[in-house]
Amino acid sequence: MLDGLDDIGWRRLGHAYGAADDVPDLIRALRSADPAARDDALGTLYTTVFHQGSRYEASAYAVPFLLELLSDPATPDRPAILALVTSLAIGYDEAVLPDGFPIGSYRRAAEGGRDLLAAKPAPWSGEHQATKEYVEYTYVESLDAADQARLWAYVDVAVYDAARAGVPLFRHLLADPDPWVRTGAAYALAWFPEEAAGSVAALARATDVSQVTGAGAVEVATMLVASGLLNAAPDHRWLADPPAGGPVRRRRRTGTGAGPGGRPHDGRGADDLDRRPARRDGRPDGRRLAAVPQR
């Protein structure tokens, strides 16, 4: 598990706070037996390789190892890791809804960005903030607006394509025993239109299975919306009110009961569910973002 993680030149790669040499330990901590250690590692990854929706050079290198963790049923908190991978792929979904992810536009915008990224100097690394050198920031600021846009678009596409490699895994996870993994997998598939043919078929099969298993409303709705974002024709069987006692039941916005797949419900309605970890705008030590400019 995680073979090759230490073979990456993380110190040469940058994230929101400079050199990404802390990323390997953070990824390993996602398999820790200590829930607090896992939560801290996940939160720190959200503030480094995915800071306020921005992705960085190191982000694309982290994704394959996150996918490897997802592929192992023994990995704890897989729904949270799946949410991180999806966030890395697309940023915040509200920016691309209701139309889906415009990957064609991103690819066109990224033309020329590879050479600009290759010319970027290695990020600063060290323990003492007083001696920090803003080498990446200075380089990016030296570019005109058009080249900055090309650079960032190339970074975003590189991360997106790293996550796209996980599409076969996401389809496989539609049959996972954990309903939250199944729901997260359906959500992830929604953002890869270049893989639509296989994903729509996989989502259709999973939706049919849900009629037999009595999957929760959030899970089924996510599958249907994901199919729609991939331009699939609507399945009219699910557009009418279900019969009493059918597999999808209306649930009051408040109250308790069973959640998706029988998981205990916490009293929130479907509109309130958001399993993405809360945004964290700063590191635990309070340092300000400085290595690269915000977009």
DSSP 148-203: HHHHHHHHHHHHHHHHHTTHHHHHHHTT-SSHHHHHHHHHHHTT-GGGHHHHHHHH
CA distance 27 to 24: 5
Residue 43 has pLDDT above 60, yes or no: yes
Residues 12 and 150 placed together within one structural domain of the fold: yes
Kindly report, residue by residue over 205-248, the tens digit of the pLDDT: 999 888 777 778 899 999 999 999 999 987 777 766 655 655 54
Between the alpha carbon of residue 74 and those of residues 32, 133, 202, the distances in Å are 11, 41, 24
Q: What is the mean pLDDT of the chain?
A: 82
Which of these, 121, 177, 167, lies nearest to 291 by C-alpha position? 121
Q: Which of 165, 189, 204 marks a domain boundary?
A: 165
Residues 152 and 34 placed together within one structural domain of the fold: yes
- Find all residues with CB under 8 Å of 219, minimum gap 6, and list them: 179, 182, 183, 186, 210, 260, 261
pLDDT band at 276 (very low <50, low <70, confident <90, very high): very low
* Number of structural domains in the chain: 2
User: Is 182 among the domain residues?
Assistant: yes
User: Is 283 among the domain residues?
Assistant: no
Residues 109 and 221 placed together within one structural domain of the fold: no
Amino acid present at 282: G
Output the pLDDT for position 262.
29
User: Is 286 among the domain residues?
Assistant: no
**Are 18 and 125 contacting, i.e. CB atoms less than 8 angstroms apart?**
yes
Residues 71 and 149 placed together within one structural domain of the fold: yes
User: Is 170 among the domain residues?
Assistant: no
Residues 6 and 149 placed together within one structural domain of the fold: yes
User: Is 29 among the domain residues?
Assistant: yes
Buried b (16+ CB within 10 A) or exposed e, 174-200: bebebbbbbbbbbbbbbbbbebbeebb
Residues 154 and 186 placed together within one structural domain of the fold: no
User: Is 294 among the domain residues?
Assistant: no
Residues 149 and 29 placed together within one structural domain of the fold: yes
Whether omega for the bond prior to residue 98 falls within 30 degrees of 0, making it cis, is: yes
Which of these, 270, 266, 275, lies nearest to 93 by C-alpha position? 275
Residue 174 has pLDDT above 90, yes or no: yes
Residues 6 and 129 placed together within one structural domain of the fold: yes
Output the pLDDT for position 244.
60
User: Is 293 among the domain residues?
Assistant: no
What count of Cα atoms within 13 Å lies in the side-chain half-sphere of residue 31? Answer: 17
Residues 133 and 195 placed together within one structural domain of the fold: no
User: Is 160 among the domain residues?
Assistant: yes
Residue 254 has pLDDT above 90, yes or no: no
CA distance 224 to 217: 11
Residues 32 and 137 placed together within one structural domain of the fold: yes
Residues 41 and 128 placed together within one structural domain of the fold: yes
Residues 22 and 51 placed together within one structural domain of the fold: yes
Q: What's the maximum distance between 2 C-alpha atoms anywhere in the chain? A: 67
Domain that holds residue 136: 1-165
Residue 280 has pLDDT above 80, yes or no: no
